[in-house]
Amino acid sequence: MPPTTLLVYGNPRGGTPLMLAAPDFALEPPLKVLVREEAGGKALVVYTPAEALGGRHGLPAGMAGKLVGAEALLATAVQR
- Per-residue model confidence (pLDDT) at position 20: 95
At 37, is the secondary structure helix, strand, or coil?
strand
- Per-residue model confidence (pLDDT) at position 71: 82
At 54, is the secondary structure helix, strand, or coil?
helix
pTM comes to 0.76
- Using the predicted structure, report yes or no on whether residue 13 has a pLDDT greater than 90: no
Q: What is the CA 48 to chain-centroid distance, rounded?
A: 5
At 31, is the secondary structure helix, strand, or coil?
strand
Question: Distance (Å, rounded) from C-alpha 67 to C-alpha 11?
Answer: 10
